[in-house]
Amino acid sequence: MSKSIFRRKSVSKILADVASGFSDSEHPGSASQLEKALNVKDLTLMGIAAVVGAGIFSTIGEASFQGGPGVSILFVITAITCGFSALCYAEFASRIPVAGSAYTYAYASFGELIAWIIGWDLLMEYAIGNIAVAISWSEYFVNLLEGFKIHLPAWVTMDYFSAFTAHEKVQELTASGHLTDITDRMRIAASAWATAPGSGNIKFIANLPALAIVIVITYLVYIGIRETKKATNAMVYLKIAIVIAVIVIGFFYVTPANWHPFLPNGFGGVMKGVSGVFFAYIGFDAISTTAEECQNPQKDLPRGMIYSLVICTVLYILIALVLTGMVSYKDLRVGDPLAYVFAKVGLKNISYVISISAVIATASVLLIFQLGQPRIWMSMSRDGLLPKAFSRIHPKFHTPSFATIVTGFVVAIPALFLNLTEVTNLTSIGTLFAFVLVCGGVLLLPREAAVKGKFHLPYINSQFIVPALFIVGVFFFRSNIINLVSGEALHHKFPYFLFIILSATLAVLSFVKKLSLIPVLGLVSCFYLMAELEYESWIRFLAWLIIGLVIYFSYGYKHSVMGKGDNAKLER
């Protein structure tokens, strides 16, 4: 029995608990456990399903507008960063093939408090990301219905705040005579307010398509991993075929002059797209939550993550080059860049096909994230940090039933009423924080010899490489470092100060302790991308973590299985 908030759960204990059947709080030792139904092909397709979605159909446009054709460089940088993290995830997945992803890995390496923080962070990442994806799916779906001449009332396709704001803005512009400033989107939102049932400021305005897709996806995840796998595979094959077709057709309409200048806003402009580009990669880590449902997790899970990352990176780079080659990067600040560029060059039928693909792609992303989040709830519940109902496994469907239902409510209700304009940054910072802890956690694991049939992260001595990289970086970016202590709003530069301190610390530790190179590079590169995000995202992220700490110390710490000792399992 340990009272320390940094009490660790050993790898052997994690594996023993799962093997003995204590994964199910209601039926310990019974046959109602998660079903092993996934192979490397399924995992690769799930990774692609999670990654090729809202990012490639929406945020890539904003990133291209900021960085021009050079945004393809950012995709390479982000892919390398995610690659380091994927290798670290693969090392953990090989040693701890259980559900829980970074939460479980942190429990084994950093201890309970950090595990809670990362678990709470993952819940934010998946929930807010899914709310955004549901809202994005609703927009594409409504546009698709318009193509079939089916017109839904505007007040059932958006949130209350957007409609009210548009109503006020249209009145203001009309009164001032600036009618040309009223956009089509603003006009639609204002009509939602005008036609919605109710009176005064009390009106029923809600995004019903977003609610509907969350209900359908949640039901699919609830009834079983095999059904989820079949639906995912079908959607992935279809959208990959469409994306490849878009790339091939698009290259015939590329004007090479649009690629000059390649970096119109410099490297700084490219890095402004970090949030949008990284958001496009979020999801490959979600498949690590399915470890207990893999037939051979030590071998297949690492391969699935790495294969999906490589395939998606190639597709993203080609899409970025096609987009910026077909039209000027200045025209790409739109919500549906792929459909927009084809409509711009007169291929409206292709644009319509892309809209269909977007509906399928965003639905598959929602499916994978809805699959991952309940398994985080379940893992935290197993350890006593959340009520034991969250670790309940359905005796027939072999899924975390209660946690899946709660996840559905957590995503569906906000998707009805919220307008999440900052969701990309908030989701990205949460994911990067998870990557930082996973890379750091690998450094704390004891080195193991390679075992046949299991993935093993290759050890490369960083003793001289990391200090040398740090010195070179300081030399080339010395002017940027000096500028950190000058100018206004110095507190906005705090993330960069943290990055420099972390880099210097890791350079010293690498020299002294001969740390493994890959996790060190993963940790540094992920934290750098965190530092590139807006200061406001850091504030919101810290606020979310404070709420989580209040819940941990008021409930989780008192009910922790590790805190109660081994006898706690008998109480369950």
Q: What is the pLDDT of residue 437?
A: 84
Confidence grade of residue 513 (pLDDT, cut at 50, 70, 90): very high
244-269 in b/e form (b: 16+ CB < 10 A) is eebeeebeebbeeebbeeeebbeeeb
Residue 393, helix vs strand vs coil: strand
Confidence grade of residue 301 (pLDDT, cut at 50, 70, 90): confident
Q: Which of 423, 458, 493 represents a domain boundary (last residue)?
A: 458
Question: Is residue 364 assigned to a domain?
Answer: yes
Question: Is residue 415 assigned to a domain?
Answer: yes
Q: What is the pLDDT of residue 2?
A: 56
Q: What is the pLDDT of residue 489?
A: 67
458-479 in b/e form (b: 16+ CB < 10 A) is eeeebeebbbebbeebeeeeee
Bigger pLDDT: 169 vs 275: 169
Mean pLDDT of all residues in 194-223? 86
Does residue 18 have a pLDDT over 50? yes
Question: Is residue 474 assigned to a domain?
Answer: no
Q: Which of 383-387, 413-417, 483-487 has the highest mean pLDDT?
A: 383-387
Question: Cα separations (Å) of 189 from 144, 235, 412?
Answer: 18, 31, 21
Residues 265 and 398 in one domain: yes
384-400 in b/e form (b: 16+ CB < 10 A) is bbbebebbbbbeebbbb
Bigger pLDDT: 510 vs 201: 510
Distance CA 53, CA 232 (A): 12
Q: What is the pLDDT of residue 451?
A: 63
Residue 74's nearest CA partner among 238, 222, 246, 280 is 280
Residue 294, helix vs strand vs coil: strand
Domain of residue 229 covers 34-149+210-458
Q: Which of 458, 478, 502 represents a domain boundary (last residue)?
A: 458
Confidence grade of residue 225 (pLDDT, cut at 50, 70, 90): low
pLDDT digits (tens, 9 = 90+) for 130-151: 887 888 788 778 877 877 788 8
pLDDT digits (tens, 9 = 90+) for 90-126: 887 777 777 656 787 788 778 888 889 888 887 877 7
Residues 303 and 330 in one domain: yes
**Residues paired with 294 in a beta bridge:** 38
Residues 446 and 342 in one domain: yes
571 C-beta neighbours (distance < 10 Å), count: 9
Question: Cα separations (Å) of 485 from 305, 399, 466, 480, 491?
Answer: 40, 53, 25, 10, 10
Residue 66's nearest CA partner among 327, 271, 275, 255 is 271
Mean pLDDT of all residues in 550-556? 91
Residues 176 and 299 in one domain: no
Distance CA 308, CA 559 (A): 38
Which segments of 110-199 does DSSP mark as H helices, in order? 112-147, 160-176, 184-195
Question: Is residue 267 assigned to a domain?
Answer: yes
Residues 59 and 164 in one domain: no
Residues 187 and 226 in one domain: no
Bigger pLDDT: 355 vs 2: 355
Does residue 342 have a pLDDT over 90? no
Element (H, E) at 433: helix 423-444
Q: Peptide bond preceding 261: is omega within 30 degrees of 0, i.e. cis?
A: yes
Residues 169 and 100 in one domain: no
For the chain, counts of helices (H) and of strands (E): 26, 2
Question: Is residue 121 assigned to a domain?
Answer: yes
pLDDT digits (tens, 9 = 90+) for 464-503: 999 999 999 888 888 777 777 776 767 778 888 889 999 9
Does residue 58 have a pLDDT over 70? no
- Strands (DSSP E) contained in 160-307 are 198-199, 202-203
pLDDT digits (tens, 9 = 90+) for 59-80: 677 788 888 888 888 888 888 8
Confidence grade of residue 26 (pLDDT, cut at 50, 70, 90): very low
Distance CA 415, CA 413 (A): 5
Distance CA 570, CA 555 (A): 20
Residues 249 and 342 in one domain: yes
Question: Is residue 568 assigned to a domain?
Answer: no
Q: What is the pLDDT of residue 146?
A: 77
Residues 400 and 310 in one domain: yes
Number of domains present in the structure of the chain: 2
Question: Is residue 24 assigned to a domain?
Answer: no
Does residue 341 have a pLDDT over 70? yes
Q: What is the pTM of this model?
A: 0.76
9 C-beta neighbours (distance < 10 Å), count: 21
**Percent share of the chain, pLDDT over 90:** 9
Can you read off the two tokens belonging to residue 275? 């949030």
Confidence grade of residue 184 (pLDDT, cut at 50, 70, 90): low
Question: How far, rounded to the nearest angstrom, does the alpha carbon of residue 492 sit from its chain's CA centroid?
Answer: 24
Residues 308 and 421 in one domain: yes
CATH of the domain at 127: 1.20.1740.10
Q: Which of 429, 458, 487 represents a domain boundary (last residue)?
A: 458
Confidence grade of residue 31 (pLDDT, cut at 50, 70, 90): very low
Average pLDDT over the chain reads: 80
549 C-beta neighbours (distance < 10 Å), count: 14
Question: Is residue 181 assigned to a domain?
Answer: yes
Residues 224 and 302 in one domain: yes
Mean pLDDT of all residues in 446-457? 70
**Running DSSP on this structure, what letter comes out for residue 198?**
E
Does residue 82 have a pLDDT over 50? yes
Residues 292 and 369 in one domain: yes
